[in-house]
Amino acid sequence: MREHNGEILKVIDVVKTFEGIDALEQVSFSVKKGQIKALIGPNGAGKTTLLNAINGIMRPDSGHIYFLGHDVVGLSADKVAHFGLSRTFQLVRLFTINNATVLDNVLLGAHMNLNPSLLESIFRRGKVGKIEEAARKKAIELLEFVGLGGAADRIPTALPFGNQRLLELARSLMTMPQMLLLDEPASGLNDTEVEEFTKLLLTIREKGITILLVEHNMKLVMNIADDIVVLDFGKKLAEGAPQEICANPEVIEAYLGTQNTEHGAPR
């Protein structure tokens, strides 16, 4: 299947069952280049399972997933990443082996584009070549971009939780992705951090990177999403612009009705 209509990602009739329970039941949707698209729904709706299927962590039982025209079902996560798809996780994953620093963690995002000597240079602190030095320069630029410019030499686990999420985002950007999958990136952030993170995501979109995010913070979702998919018990309940989703009776009953609203938009 070739890319068409500006679609960078197309999910078609994806099914995933765990021990007889339908985690995903013929879910279909697409994401256009340059969009910020959100996946929302109650806990257990299948959102993270869907992200896992898209980026190759888990193979769906049936259906198709096309990224940039490539059918990625059955491909490993590394192979999917080579096509330009990068991922962050609900639980932050940071590396601390051999006293790895914040900068080292970002550099790990470059492993697909460099030879194995990069990893050796990170963990042996050895002399690096021009390519590796260019990678370090890029990593420092990304730390500045996400607001961690002064933290390059720190131990990642010593960072405040919100900064750990920013570090994981910088590492994902280091892969030079065409699309980011973000799994609850605002989880655990305070209101000020959420506001700054919202601005950062909009800036990333301005750089031409498409975003698909799972998020429970409805204020963030409604402020930045161009389009929203609602999942409920593994089924696609609705899809549309934020205003349409806010006014959808089924969505209100299944999900939005459990949250406070103001001016028609969840807070």
Average pLDDT over residues 157-170: 92
Q: Is the dihedral of CA 186, 203, 199, 241 positive or negative?
A: negative
Average pLDDT over residues 216-229: 94
When the pLDDT of each residue in the chain is averaged and rounded to a whole number, the result is 87
d(CA 94, CA 13): 34
Largest CA distance in the chain: 61
Report pTM.
Answer: 0.87
Q: For 117-135, what is each residue's pLDDT tens digit?
A: 555 555 555 555 666 788 8
Statement: residue 97 has pLDDT above 80: no
SS3 236: strand
Statement: residue 267 has pLDDT above 50: no
d(CA 72, CA 3): 13
Q: For 15-47, what is each residue's pLDDT tens digit?
A: 999 988 889 999 999 999 999 999 999 988 999
CATH class as words, domain 87-176:
alpha beta
d(CA 158, CA 256): 36
d(CA 255, CA 267): 13
* DSSP string over 77-95: HHHHHHTTEEE--SS----
Q: Which pLDDT band holds residue 112 (cuts at 50, 70, 90)? A: low
Q: For 171-221, what is each residue's pLDDT tens digit?
A: 999 999 999 999 999 988 889 999 999 999 999 999 999 999 999 999 999
